Amino acid sequence: MKKIVIASVVSAVVALGIGGGTGWGVYHFMVKRSPAAAVKTADMSGENQDETNSIFVSLPETVVTLHDSEGDDHYMLAELVMVADTDKDAEKIKKDEPLYQSITVNQLSDMKYEDVRALKIADIRKKVADTLKAELASRKMAAPYKDILVKKVVFQ
């Protein structure tokens, strides 16, 4: 009787291992090689940028207070990532974090909650990127980053 139970448990573990390995293999190898995945990856990048040597610098989470049309307060939590080419640029981004957060908060807090909530992530990214570019130009500062990514957006 013990041998049957042990054999059953071993068979179940082996079956789970084989099934899990097969599922993992199909997911990681078949999905990456499909033409649809290649098109999706190209569409997401916008331009075919080579990100192999890029340095990603996450800015701390930024909390923005938004007001709706009825005067109620809502909060938006946003986490941005800046893409730099060199370690020197990454250090400059870290040094200037408060400036980037201040510009972001200033730009988004001027908007109504309903308007921000209706935007897609790509639109939020574009608004923040355009505002940062314009503000840095008005301060006669060179942008140490080549792109801005939105890592997280949470509304409350």
Write down the domain spans for the chain.
2-45, 55-155
* pLDDT of 36 above 60: no
| Class at the top of the CATH hierarchy for domain 55-155 | alpha beta
SS3 (DSSP) at 84: strand
Closest CA to 62 of 92, 117, 99, 25: 99
SS3 (DSSP) at 141: coil
- pLDDT, tens only, 21-31: 666 666 666 55
For residue 153, what pLDDT is reported? 87
Cα 7 to Cα 97: distance, rounded to the nearest angstrom: 60
Give, in order, the Cα–Cα distances in Å from 141 to each of 73, 96, 101, 137. Answer: 34, 11, 16, 6
pTM of the model: 0.61
For residue 5, what pLDDT is reported? 75
Amino acid found at 4: I
For residue 67, what pLDDT is reported? 87
